[in-house]
Structure 1
Amino acid sequence: MKVSRRRVLATAAGAVALGRTAAMQSPAPAPAASDPSKAPGRPARTLGQRAAFEKPQRITRGATGSQTPHQDLYGTITPADLHFERHHAGVPEIDPRSYSLLIHGMVERPMMFTLADLKRFPSVSRVCFLECSGNFNRAAPPETTPQQLAGMTSQSEWTGVMLSTLFREVGARPQATWFLAEGHDAALLARSIPVEKAFDDAMIAYAQNGEAIRPEQGYPARLLLPGWEGNSNVKWIRRIELSDRPFMTREETSKYTDPLANDTARIFSFVMDARSLITYPAYPVTLTRGWVEINGIAWSGYGKIQRVDVSTDAGRSWASAKLQEPVLPKAHTRFRHLWKWDGGEAIVLSRAVDETGYVQPPRAELLKTRGPGAANYHLNPVTGWLVRSDGAVVYNQEAWG
C-alpha cells in the first residue's frame, strides 16, 4: 500500500501527542539515592557527627590505655575523642560542682579552688602535644600500623589558667623548689615536679579543643606540662603541695626511671626527646608506581622542630622534608616530602632535628646508650616502612638487642 507523506506526518504527530499524554499521566520516577541533588538532606542536629563513611577509632591497650589512629588523621590537631588515653585505675567520674583543687605546703596562704574559681582567673590557650613515655612498640611485627607503633601521642589546643598565677595567689615561698601533683583517681597517681616548671609554662587546663576536657583526659581539670612525659601531666588533679625536695613517690621510684647501659639509671627524665613518625605510606597501604607524598608528624619536648630528614634508601642518603607552618614549640609539626617510587623495594625513614640541634638517633645508637635491658621509657629511635616490590607497605622491623 502506498503511504502518503501527509499520512506519515499525521501518524508521527499522533505518536508525539500520545507520548506527551503518557508522560503527563505517569508519576515521576523517584530520585536516585546516589544523587543528593535530587532530594533534601537530613535536618539539623544538636550534635555533629562524622560522615558515615569515616570511621577512625582508637584501639585499646588492655583496660588502661588507648592509641590515636595517626594514619587516619590530617594536619596536627587530634580530635578530642581520638586523643590517646592512659590511666592506672580507670577513668573516674567527678562532678564539677563538687570539684576542688587544694594548694598548700610551703605557701603563705593555703587555698582551695573550685572549678568556678579557676575559671575566674585570666585564661590562656596553647597548642602542644602529650606523649606517654612508653610510646614505642619495640617488638612490633611487620603488620603494624602507625597507631600501633606510636599511637600514644596526641595534640590539642588546651585552655586553662597558668600555674604560676595560682602560685602567686597562694604566695609560694622562695624555698619551695618542688611540688607534688596528686590526682583524684583510684590510683592517687602523684608526681614530684620542679617549681621552675610551674613558673615557665605549666597550666591547670579545663578545656580541650574548644570544649570541656573529656573524662579520660582529666575532667574537670588536669595539670599540663608542655613537652614533658605524659604521666607527669597529672589528670583529675586535686592537690598540689609545695616543698623543698622531691617526694619520691611510687611513680618515680618503682616506675618511670630509665636504666642505662652502665648499670646506672636516670630519674626525673621529664622531657620528651625529638621524634618523628611517618604516617603515610605505612601498613596496610599498597602503593602504585609514580609520585608519592611521604608525610608524618615530628615533635620535641625541648622546643621547635628545626628540620625533618627523609630517606628512601634505608638511610644511605637524606633529603629535607617541607614543614607545615606554623611550627610551634613543643608541638606536633606536619612534614611532607615528594618521592617518585619506581617499583623497586625501598625502605623509607624519617628523623627529626629540634632547635637545640638534637638529632633523633638510629636504633643502634640508642641501644648502645640505653642497653638491651632498657625499660620501655623514652625510646625514640628512627623508624620507617618497607615498601615491597608489589607495592605492599609494612613496618621496617629491627631487632632490639
Structure 2
Amino acid sequence: MSDDKEFSSSRRRFLGGAALATGALAAGRLAHAQAGPDPLITEMQPWQQYLGDGVDARPYGMPSQYEAHVVRRNVEWLTADSVSSVNFTPLHEMEGIITPNGLCFERHHSGIAEIDPGMHRLMINGLVDNPLVFTMEDIMRFPRENRTYFLECAANTGMEWRGAQLNGVQFTHGMIHNVVYTGVPLRLLLEEAGVQTNAAWILPEGADASAMTRSIPLEKALDDCLVATHMNGERLRPEQGYPIRLVVPGWEGNMWVKWLRRIEVGDQPWHHREETSKYTDLLEHGEARRFTWVMDAKSVITNPSPQAPITHGPGPTVITGVAWSGRGTIPRVDVTLDGGVNWHQARMSGPSLDKSMHRFYYEFDWDGRPLLLQSRAIDSTGYVQPTKDQLREFRGENSIYHNNGIQTWAIDESGRAENVEVG
C-alpha cells in the first residue's frame, strides 16, 4: 500500500463516494449513476426468459461474444510477409498478471511448425559424455517445476526509439506475455548427458524451417532455464512451440527457442553460419553492444491509453499498468499525471514474482484537465527505469532493441489518449 498522502486522501474519497445510501450510490460522486429507476435492472431481460446452452455445448470454453474484439493484432506494413512477422498482445484489455494462452503474442521466422509429439525428439550432443535423444515420454519422466515468467521480444517498443510512432499500447508494448510454465529444468537433461568440464556454452536449435539457433552461456542453462511442455496448465499452443520450447527467464525472447529439437554443448559461442544472426544493438557511432540478453526494468500504463480512453468523464479514475524486470522483482512503481513534474507511488497488487509481470494501480479524482501520464518502475536491484532521452544520450537512435524508456500518454479534455514524447 502506498504511503503517498495524496494517494491515501484520494483513495478515501473514492471509497467514500462508492458507499451505498438507501440503495443508491451517494449523490454527486459518480456523474453517470442514475437517480431514478433503470429498466435494465427493474425489468426482466431476454436472457432471463430462456434456457442457455448445456455443459456439453462448448467442450473447449471460449470468451463471451461481447469480447470478440480482444485479440492479438499485427501491423501489416511492419514486415514483408506475415509468415516471418509478429502479432501483439492486447495489454489494454487485460487485468492481473497472467496472459491467457490465446492472447500471447507470436513471433515467427518461418511460420508455425505443426509437429506430431509422437514423432518429435530432443537431442543433446557436443561436449557431453553420453549424447542422448529424448522422446516426449522420456522428458515427462523427469521432475517438473512450475514457474511464472514474462517473455519479451528484444524489439518490444523498438519503433519508438526515434519518436512516438504507434498509437496504442498493444503495438508499442505488446510483444510481451506472462504465463505459468511447467517444464523440466534444463540442468537435469544436461546432467543426464554428462556435460564435460571444458563446456561453457549451449546452442539450442528449433525444429521449424528456420532452424532457429542461439548461443546461451552454460551458466544460465544450468541456473533457471526450463524445457517447457505446458503454459497456464495446458499443453503449449503450436504458435508457442508445441510440443516443447526453451524458457530462458529474464532474457530476450529470441533466445527462447520454440519447437526445441537439439541442444549442442560447446566451449565457445557460435559465430559461424550455423547460428542465426543475433539481434544487434547498434550504437550511434557504429559500434554494437555485445551480449545484451537481460531485459531491464520497464513499465507501461495500459489504461487509460490510446486504445482505452477515459469514457466516464471527470471524477474517480483508475490508472493501471504492468511492470517487469529481467533482474528480479518490482517492489515499486511511480506514476505521474503531469509528465514527470510530480510523482506518486502506485499501489502494487497481486503476486510479486521473480522475472514476472507486476500489476500496479493509482486512483485519483480527474478534474477534466489534460494529463501527461507516465509510469516509472524500480526493480529489486535498485535500478530505476530511465526516460527515453536518457537512453538516447548513451545509445543514440540507431537500434530497435532493448528500449525500456518511460512511455507517455497525453490525455485531452475529452479523455482521448495519444502517444507523445516527453523526455
TM, length-normalised to structure 2: 0.83
The answer to whether residue 400 in structure 2 is matched with residue 379 in structure 1 is: no
CA contact (8 A) 2:213 2:276 kept: no
The answer to whether residue 331 in structure 2 is matched with residue 306 in structure 1 is: yes
Alignment of 1:221-240 (within 5 A): 221-240=244-263
CA contact (8 A) 2:228 2:244 kept: yes
The answer to whether residue 417 in structure 2 is matched with residue 396 in structure 1 is: no
Partners of 1:65 and 1:74 lie apart in 2 by 22
Change (3 A) 1:237 1:245: same
Give the equivalent residue in structure 1 for 2:71. 57
Change (3 A) 1:87 1:110: same
Give the equivalent residue in structure 2 for 1:197. 220
Q: 1:80 aligns with which of 90, 93, 101?
A: 101
CA contact (8 A) 2:348 2:361 kept: yes
Q: Number of aligned pairs? A: 367
Indicate the structure (1 or 2) with the bigger Cα radius of gyration: 1
2:211 counterpart letter in structure 1: L
Change (3 A) 1:47 1:132: same
By how many angstroms is 1:159 displaced? 0.6
Q: 2:133 aligns with which of 96, 102, 112?
A: 112
Give the equivalent residue in structure 2 for 1:4. none
Q: 1:102 aligns with which of 116, 119, 123?
A: 123
CA contact (8 A) 2:214 2:276 kept: no
1:264 counterpart letter in structure 2: E
Change (3 A) 1:376 1:216: same
Partners of 2:274 and 2:384 lie apart in 1 by 29
Q: Provide the secondary structure at the position in 2 that maps to 1:157.
A: strand
2:290 counterpart letter in structure 1: I
Give the equivalent residue in structure 2 for 1:10. none
Alignment of 1:2-401 (within 5 A): 34-44=45-55, 45-55=58-68, 56-62=70-76, 63=82, 64-136=85-157, 137-138=159-160, 144-248=167-271, 254-261=277-284, 263-284=286-307, 285-287=309-311, 288-373=313-398, 375-397=399-421
By how many angstroms is 1:251 displaced? 9.5
Q: Provide the secondary structure at the position in 2 that maps to 1:340.
A: strand
1:65 counterpart letter in structure 2: V
Partners of 2:347 and 2:164 lie apart in 1 by 29
By how many angstroms is 1:133 displaced? 0.2
Q: Provide the secondary structure at the position in 1 that maps to 2:341.
A: coil
1:305 counterpart letter in structure 2: I
RMSD across aligned C-alpha pairs, in angstroms? Answer: 1.9
Partners of 2:340 and 2:348 lie apart in 1 by 20
Give the equivalent residue in structure 2 for 1:15. none
- Higher RCO structure, 1 or 2 (CA under 8 Å, sep 6+): 2
Partners of 2:375 and 2:358 lie apart in 1 by 13
Partners of 1:322 and 1:121 lie apart in 2 by 40
Give the equivalent residue in structure 2 for 1:12. none
Q: Provide the secondary structure at the position in 2 that maps to 1:148.
A: helix
2:66 counterpart letter in structure 1: F
Give the equivalent residue in structure 2 for 1:20. none
Partners of 2:275 and 2:261 lie apart in 1 by 19
CA contact (8 A) 1:143 1:394 kept: no
Q: Provide the secondary structure at the position in 1 that maps to 2:360.
A: strand
Q: Provide the secondary structure at the position in 2 that maps to 1:191.
A: coil
Partners of 2:261 and 2:252 lie apart in 1 by 20
| Unaligned residue ranges in structure 2 (runs of 5+) | 1-42, 77-81
Q: Provide the secondary structure at the position in 2 that maps to 1:86.
A: coil
By how many angstroms is 1:247 displaced? 0.5
1:131 counterpart letter in structure 2: E
1:182 counterpart letter in structure 2: E
Partners of 2:377 and 2:295 lie apart in 1 by 13
Q: Provide the secondary structure at the position in 1 that maps to 2:265.
A: strand
Give the equivalent residue in structure 2 for 1:5. none
Give the equivalent residue in structure 2 for 1:14. none
Partners of 2:163 and 2:184 lie apart in 1 by 40
Partners of 1:142 and 1:171 lie apart in 2 by 49
CA contact (8 A) 1:189 1:251 kept: no
Partners of 1:327 and 1:396 lie apart in 2 by 30
By how many angstroms is 1:43 displaced? 1.2
By how many angstroms is 1:160 displaced? 0.9
2:212 counterpart letter in structure 1: L
Partners of 2:214 and 2:166 lie apart in 1 by 36
- Of stretches 282-291 and 117-126 in structure 1, the one that deviates more from structure 2 is 282-291
Identical positions, percent: 43
CA contact (8 A) 2:166 2:172 kept: no
| Unaligned residue ranges in structure 1 (runs of 5+) | 1-31
